[in-house]
Structure 1
Amino acid sequence: MKINKISKSGTLESSDIYIILMPNENGGIEVELESLVIKQFGEQIKKTIIDTLVELGVEDTIVRAQDKGALDYTIRARVETAVKRAQ
């Protein structure tokens, strides 16, 4: 699946994550992450985002994520919602 339009999901509230998906003209999946806990959990957050996109069959997208302490299931839900909104 290719992302053809910008889509958003989530909030900037505590324990949530705000996800923006955009088309990537250069190909591949790129993740830009801002987080309060990036030093401790940044790699795990990126992995969860990428794994969810791969499971959904998404290719060629740029992800901008602003994390406020979201747990894995919240991250997955926000990414899935943004993907569905991009269809």
Structure 2
Amino acid sequence: MRVLLKATLDTEKSNELIRSGKMADVMREALDHIKPEAAYFGTLGGRRTALLVFDMQDSADMPPIGEPFFLEMNAEVDVCPIMNAEDLGKGLSRLR
């Protein structure tokens, strides 16, 4: 199932990771593990945020996917099923 992970990073913890030079490695490890089809980074609500779109095969994958963001970045993490335009069309056709 295609999901969107939104990780809102703690400012103090991410500042610490950036100053120590570890942020790139921590983020690379997370991305290498998750293998997202799309990854975007920016600010939402004034806080550093990562938005990752990926295929989650099993809900049991949630702990190994989310925990690095919690443990390493003290992030708030949301995971939500999402659809692309093709998925939406397919789902809407099932309403008839």
TM class by smaller structure:
0.3 to 0.5
Q: Which has the higher helix share?
A: 2
- TM-score, normalised by the number of residues in structure 1: 0.36
